[in-house]
Structure 1
Amino acid sequence: MRIREFKWNGKAGRMLPAISALLVLLVTTLFAGNFGEVLAQTPGGAGGVYENMDPLLEDIANQYAMGTLSAKAAAAQAPVNNEESVGVIFLTELGAADEVRDYLLENGASPGPAFEGHLGADVPVSLLADVSQQEGVTWMHASIPPRAAESASDDLGEVAHGVDVWHAGGLKGEGVKIAVLSLGFEGIQEMLGTGLPETVITRCYIGYGLYSDDIADCETESDSGTIRAARIYDIAPEATYYIVTVGDWVDLNDAVKWLVDEEVDVIYESLIWIYTGPGDGTSPYALSDLNSVDDAIEGGITWVMPAGNDAQSTWFGAFHDQDGDGYHEFSGEDECNRVTLEPGRPYMGLIRWEDKWVGPFDPLEFRDLSVQMVHEESGVTIRRSYRSFLARTAPLEYFYFRPRLEGNYCLRVQLNVGTAPDWVQVSSFFGGDLEHPSLFGSIASPAESNNPGLISVGTTTPGNTDEIWEHSSRGPGPEPWPEGRIKPEIVGANSDVDHRTVTMTGTGWAAAGIAGVAALVKQRFPEFDPEDVANYLKDNAEDRGEPGPDNTWGYGFAMLPSGDVATPEDDQCFVRIDGNMDRTGTWDEGCVSSHATRHGLEDNRYARFYTFTVDAYTDVTIDLSSNDQDIYLYLMEGNRKNGEILEENDDDFTGEGYNSRIAVSSLAPGDYTIEATTYYVEKKGEFRIVVDMETSAVQPEPPVEPTPMGPFSAFSRGTDHVCALLQSDSTIACWSAGGIDEISPPSGEYSAISSGDGGSCALRNDGAAVCWGSLEVDPESDETAMGPFMSVSRGSDHACALDSEGVITCWGSDEEGQMSPPDGTYSAIDSGDGGSCALRDDDALVCWGSLELSP
């Protein structure tokens, strides 16, 4: 469907009053006297400008001040409203929140507690303008509530995650603390002692960080939290449960701090929030769901949540405008993405696009898009979107309203200013399915987090664990998602666990099951941190769909391996080694290999396991031999059957019969397990295993944790790490909020340092260039890096260096021409995201890559 626009020029301008009157009559007829509904959320009118207020609140304040709408009608335009008040999140100067709260109380508002740098309140529409001028208020934006990831279905099958075997082995969550975060827990008191523990620990937030410990105050909104908690309890019935209601970012931020103090192990969150970042799994705003996830995981909590039920309600892809009218075409020439709405039910349309979220405003690079809601039958634009967050330039907009008429509406996207972005994401956030969904690129927030301690969960079709559910959110599309990033991480069953009849399904239901599974893993391996728990589930998942991880099934369908149920002390398949060993053993059906299926081999290979601990760096040799069977040998990390494989060996050295050997020099202190197994299925027989351990002659020096005391001669800041050159010995020290590779520079002496996205580069004292992290450059294996160079600059996916003759050499990605500098001689170089710039010897500026600039 193509939406026609009215364009005024020439003689048509004299018809404006008459046509405007007709439009008013049409709109008034369509919307039964609610003409204010059309005016609302249509920015651009007269009125005050409040630089520290988001455009939605500003428009509400202006509509009220000009008499366009009553206070109650104006308040109704906000996502959170109560009579003549609207929900507002305040960001304040440090130390100013208490004074702002006092002012709100004195002037008829209902604030929550004051926190350091922020607070929330229900604010009368009449007070919005005045409170924005109060000292200490840096920003005000409308409070936007989350939604529950839920869907209805009566077709529920049986769960299949290997839980029954772990239960039989005594693993039911004992000693594990689980927190359930939801909008409400209606009916929960009736479930205590039957479908839930007799007692639970509660914190019921009732507004902007204000909370009650009375469980009755948690019985609000819906029973979705109750049903999900019962689902988790079926899987982890011996765990300790925390029941928490949250309704805004202030609640979430405070709840996470409390749960970290309580040493909770697993958080299950069923809530979906609007996006607060550029799509790379991070947010530049301290008060956001993504940063609350990071705080929880840093505090030792595994975060489990639904990937979202948004595959049919999201469009993600490149901006297309073949006819040049400024409107995006979703499919072919269709500029309308149709959605059917119910009268009175809240609806929110959301748009996010590729652009920067923070930094100074540049009018030459500014790009502005909007998403609009059009009544299909009349062609009248009902809503246009607003910007939000702590910057009017952040590339995210939304609109919110309650339709008066049932029927078909059109979401359309307009490019208002600037060039077309590389990608656009349109979400029917509160509402129905789209006519043109993209399926992929539909991961919700904060499930899109890049934190390895978060587990986002997709789901299967109810009753069929081999088929992905049509609404299950699919993972990353094109940029900005880094190559190789997988979402969701795991897929769970879309079904109930026993006789209980429920009508709730979807990824929220599946994620509740995986939260219970994560609790069992934590009980079995109490030493696991959140990333370990996530990796364990990914490593043991059953592959589905195309071979290997993908953005539909993630790493596969979650399964708990039966081989890990028993602890080594209780399992007859384990033998504890204390020092050297020479012994014989037998293979039979009582003990089965835990690694065969992970390496493409068939099941039912008989095995025996040997565990040992070394307290110092140790040289270890393991010999396995058999005259009966072909054999295979593993050395794994940890005292368990399914640990990470460090070394493995088939029969590759000479001797009588079949023989395998693993020899490791300087094995680091820790716990380890040897698996001695057969190569072929169900082969019994005898074997001999010899283990020789000798403390290494040279014990590596323990790593020295760098301190920021210095003194340093130079430093460079990357995206989430920083590196500096020590004056004392010209070595490099690094600190990181991200991956370990970023802070692991090669040893040696250096003269210059440059950090970027995912790593750094440096010049050795001999002038050679060295890079580490996501881009590795080693002069020992790459002659082009020998130099000698005078300077080096690290970009996001490439690096360039300048030699003494003014010639530039580059390494890394050449997708946008980053490695192809123009010919010439240069005096300075600087690399960034997608390309580099340099000064020629005549002082002219030259750029190449995603931005080309030629004098």
Structure 2
Amino acid sequence: MNRRFSVAILLIAIACIGLVAVGVSPAAADDGPSINESELVETIEVDHELPDAEPSTATVEADTFDADSNDESEQLVVELTAVTDERTTRLEEYGDVRDTHGDRVELEVDDDVAEPIAAIEWVVGVRPTSIATPGTESEGVETIKADEVHADGVTGDGVTVGVLDPTGFDVENDEIADNVVDARSFTEGTVHNGGDNDHGTATAEIVTDVAPDADLYLARMETEVGYANAVEWLVESDVDVIVMSAGFYAQPNDGSGFIASVADEAVEDDDVVWVNAAGNSRDEHYLGSFDDRGTKLHYFDGESNVNPLNNGFSVSAGQRIQATLTWDDWEYTNDHYNLLLLVYDGSNWAVVEESSTSHLSGTPTEQISLPAPVTGTYAVAVADVGAGGDHEIQLFASGGRPVYTTPASSVTSPAVGHSTMSVAAVNYYDSSLASYSSRGPTLDGRDGIDVAAPTSVSTTAYGSRGYAGTSAAAPHVGGLAALVRGADPSLDADETADRIRDGSNPNSVDFSRVDEPATDPRHDVGEGMIDASSTVESQGAAFEITDVISVGSIFEGDSFTVQVAVTNTGAKSDTQEIVASVDHATDSTYITLEPGETDQVTFTFADGLESGEHDLVVETDDDSTTIELTVGSEYPVDKPVYDAVAGVSGFDDTSVTGADLTQLRGALLDGNNVIDGVTVTGADYTRLRGYLLG
């Protein structure tokens, strides 16, 4: 997620507006600071001292916040008992049906129609849609030692990587054009998005920097329905890896929500490695138990019942402000909180926007997103409107860092999924953890972060501006996943992720630039900075003894041979010495194998063994096997005769059958006592004849 350009990205990626916009004028100056009365919140006195440096104040006209003055259309998700053509036609009476997925219909509306839609008998719930927030060769290639892996011929050849992004892609960008197999848009507009696609293009660039021969499938999406349909297309396209440098706020932090479940299913059901940016919300996140001190507004720190944005200083007119509130009642909530956006006019706090839609959707979420209508000091507040005030509330707010923040548990969805890989950001130039990088743990107790990867790197899409955020970190891990799967196609998604985690370095990250580093470093960086060389080296050549082809009968004092099959099950060609030893005798030979190649190795022992049981050990650099040998004390017939008939199947254990039996009968019963030039006489003849007649 590109922190440096978050405003531009949010303008593209966030378009949901609260359903209730309240037009209010500020109270008279002598009334003191207070929230003006709205439809659902009584007049409540605000407790908060502004910064000592006098903030800019807003001149607020009576109709400044009139809902009719907001020209932005609204996107709703309508959840139905089942989607049918007849029902989507009915919904078109209220707005434009943009997309469907499962039991969800995405609807774009211009008017306040949520209430009448919610009243339809086959409608389960109505709410603003969740919107994905996005966060030359990258310097990260050298940082993670991917260049060393390329030198060994591991480049991601034969691997397909899907990239999901809300801003789209420039498929003609020279860095990715030769890798792109297909690209589609699952939202309004084209993949190219009118050229405003730096974020997606840069993400795809980094994937190909790390895995230069990987194929790309690119999917533009914005909303949760478009996201689900894009994932479905990528899975049907048989991609091996999915990289998503974006996240959704209005989702459970424990990985149980719709967004995370879509990603988890891709991993668990379709063997896709899912790599996701953890988020840039470390300093934009608040988590706490609702506490209103008997009023109706939550106290964020025990002293203030509003949470000013931008540390209490001015937010410029036109800057995008986004706030998302959730609380821990995800089954189907009848407990409701409202989310308010306030502006200070010099003497009073006026309500700019109020979100109060959870009673329509049954989901514990409220969202506000709009450009600041005037330059001024803004704050968010949370009001209890029937929830009982006994919930854990979670708030993500952007528009400048909020005054009251909670770094912990700030990872967004689908990075919080149970099967996804969540990626933190580390500055490539000094190995310092990025101050904005979201932090675990998840609310169900998992680390929340799997690994860390480089950020603040170079791409052609962003040019001299650089590409920062966990958005830039995630594709480094996605490219590494392509290298690992290309080097060893036998690995499944979970094994690939494990290889990456196991190859990472937890001691290579500097935490000194981060306020309040986690007590457990895994909550900040998981297993540490990824290391392509260590990860792929660990899956280099692997010579395994896959079969014992033949040993034959062994008798005391005689030379003997052992033949085995050796297969290179690893990712690199190699030459190894294969050694066989028994008692004090050893034989060895060198063989060269390409990945997947098998060869037969024969060992010869000129000095015999004593009769009895012996263990012969065959070893490669990577494997060993023990062959149990039984050495006989004497031959069943004289040695020359035994040698002559040794190739006859079953002779040693007197179980000669078929053509072999016919051969011996013909040789011995018709008076011809010569087998392979050896004349069988005396006791040997009698023994063989007795066996064959018996």
Query: TM over 0.5, yes or no?
Result: yes
Q: Is the 8 A contact 2:181 2:217 kept in 1?
A: yes
* Distance in 2 separating the partners of 1:26 and 1:99: 55
SS at match of 1:119: strand
Q: 1:264 is matched by which residue type in structure 2?
A: V
* Distance in 1 separating the partners of 2:106 and 2:538: 49
Call closer, same or farther: CA 1:137–1:622 in 2, change over 3 Å: farther
Q: Is the 8 A contact 1:624 1:690 kept in 2?
A: no
Tell me the CA shift for residue 120 of structure 1.
1.8
Partner of 1:98: 85
Call closer, same or farther: CA 1:404–1:462 in 2, change over 3 Å: farther
Partner of 2:476: 513
Matched, 1:402 2:359: no
Q: Deviations over 1:236-262 (max 9, x none)?
A: 121111111112111111111111111
Matched, 1:424 2:393: yes
Call closer, same or farther: CA 1:405–1:273 in 2, change over 3 Å: same
Q: Deviations over 1:360-418 (max 9, x none)?
A: 85xxxx5x444433324433242565355686554332333332222322233444545
SS at match of 1:491: strand
Q: Which of these residues, 610, 619, 625, is aligned with residue 691 of structure 1?
A: 625
* Distance in 2 separating the partners of 1:21 and 1:534: 53
Call closer, same or farther: CA 1:370–1:495 in 2, change over 3 Å: same
Call closer, same or farther: CA 1:395–1:674 in 2, change over 3 Å: farther
Q: Is the 8 A contact 1:202 1:244 kept in 2?
A: yes
Q: Deviations over 1:682-709 (max 9, x none)?
A: xxxxxxx9731579xxxxxxxxxxxxxx
Q: Is the 8 A contact 1:608 1:675 kept in 2?
A: no
Partner of 1:351: 325
Partner of 2:261: 291
* Distance in 2 separating the partners of 1:309 and 1:360: 28
Q: Which of these residues, 147, 151, 154, is aligned with residue 164 of structure 1?
A: 147
Call closer, same or farther: CA 1:394–1:292 in 2, change over 3 Å: same
| Larger relative helix fraction | 2
Q: Is the 8 A contact 1:158 1:498 kept in 2?
A: no
* Distance in 2 separating the partners of 1:567 and 1:24: 69
Q: Deviations over 1:641-681 (max 9, x none)?
A: xxxxxxxxxxxxxxxxxxxx9x9xxxxxxxx99767xxxxx
Partner of 1:342: 316
- Mapping of 1:323-342 within 5 angstroms? 324-325=294-295, 327-331=297-301, 333-340=303-310, 341-342=315-316
Partner of 2:203: 228
Partner of 1:204: 185
Q: Deviations over 1:67-121 (max 9, x none)?
A: x9999944838xxx43xxx322222232x4311332344x473223555423222
- Mapping of 1:207-606 within 5 angstroms? 207=188, 215-216=191-192, 218-219=193-194, 221-277=196-252, 279-283=253-257, 288-297=258-267, 298-319=269-290, 324-325=294-295, 327-331=297-301, 333-340=303-310, 341-353=315-327, 355-358=328-331, 361=334, 366=335, 368-376=336-344, 377-383=346-352, 385-388=354-357, 394-417=363-386, 420-421=389-390, 423-428=392-397, 430-451=398-419, 454-465=420-431, 467-476=432-441, 480-482=443-445, 485-496=446-457, 501-544=464-507, 550-562=522-534, 564-565=536-537, 571=541, 574=543, 576=545, 578-579=547-548
Gaps of 5+ in 1: 1-19, 31-36, 46-67, 150-154, 584-606, 613-620, 626-637, 641-660, 664-671, 677-688, 696-855
| Larger relative strand fraction | 1
Q: Which has the higher contact order (CA 8 A, sep 6+)?
A: 2
* Distance in 1 separating the partners of 2:582 and 2:118: 75
* Distance in 1 separating the partners of 2:102 and 2:369: 30
Tell me the CA shift for residue 313 of structure 1.
0.7
SS at match of 1:504: coil
* Distance in 2 separating the partners of 1:399 and 1:360: 19
* Distance in 1 separating the partners of 2:379 and 2:458: 40
* Distance in 1 separating the partners of 2:356 and 2:576: 60
Q: Is the 8 A contact 1:315 1:438 kept in 2?
A: yes
Q: Which of these residues, 101, 121, 133, is aligned with residue 147 of structure 1?
A: 133
Call closer, same or farther: CA 1:259–1:543 in 2, change over 3 Å: same
State which structure, 1 or 2, has the greater radius of gyration over its C-alpha atoms: 2
Call closer, same or farther: CA 1:162–1:693 in 2, change over 3 Å: farther
* Distance in 1 separating the partners of 2:244 and 2:624: 49
Tell me the CA shift for residue 575 of structure 1.
6.5
Q: Deviations over 1:498-517 (max 9, x none)?
A: 89644220100011111111
* Distance in 2 separating the partners of 1:693 and 1:343: 80
Q: Deviations over 1:744-764 (max 9, x none)?
A: xxxxxxxxxxxxxxxxxxxxx
Partner of 2:123: 137
Partner of 1:731: none
Partner of 1:746: none
Tell me the CA shift for residue 180 of structure 1.
1.2
Q: Is the 8 A contact 2:333 2:364 kept in 1?
A: no
Matched, 1:89 2:74: no
Call closer, same or farther: CA 1:502–1:330 in 2, change over 3 Å: same
Percent sequence identity is 20
* Distance in 2 separating the partners of 1:256 and 1:523: 22
Q: 1:496 is matched by which residue type in structure 2?
A: V
* Distance in 2 separating the partners of 1:233 and 1:315: 36
Q: Is the 8 A contact 2:27 2:36 kept in 1?
A: no
Q: Is the 8 A contact 2:452 2:473 kept in 1?
A: yes
Call closer, same or farther: CA 1:25–1:176 in 2, change over 3 Å: same
Call closer, same or farther: CA 1:566–1:181 in 2, change over 3 Å: same
Q: Is the 8 A contact 1:158 1:496 kept in 2?
A: no
Q: Which of these residues, 154, 161, 181, is aligned with residue 178 of structure 1?
A: 161
**RMSD between aligned alpha carbons?**
4.6
Q: TM-score, normalised by structure 1?
A: 0.53
* Distance in 1 separating the partners of 2:105 and 2:294: 45
* Distance in 2 separating the partners of 1:463 and 1:135: 58
SS at match of 2:524: coil
Q: TM-score, normalised by structure 2?
A: 0.64
* Distance in 1 separating the partners of 2:207 and 2:246: 16
* Distance in 1 separating the partners of 2:394 and 2:325: 6
Q: 2:441 is matched by which residue type in structure 1?
A: P
Tell me the CA shift for residue 468 of structure 1.
0.9
Partner of 1:745: none
Call closer, same or farther: CA 1:578–1:141 in 2, change over 3 Å: same
* Distance in 2 separating the partners of 1:547 and 1:624: 55
* Distance in 1 separating the partners of 2:307 and 2:298: 10
Tell me the CA shift for residue 158 of structure 1.
7.0
* Distance in 2 separating the partners of 1:245 and 1:111: 18
Call closer, same or farther: CA 1:164–1:498 in 2, change over 3 Å: farther
Q: 2:433 is matched by which residue type in structure 1?
A: I
Q: 2:423 is matched by which residue type in structure 1?
A: V
- Mapping of 1:97-136 within 5 angstroms? 97-105=84-92, 107=93, 109-113=95-99, 115-125=101-111, 131-132=117-118, 134=120, 136=122
Q: 1:446 is matched by which residue type in structure 2?
A: P
Call closer, same or farther: CA 1:198–1:356 in 2, change over 3 Å: closer
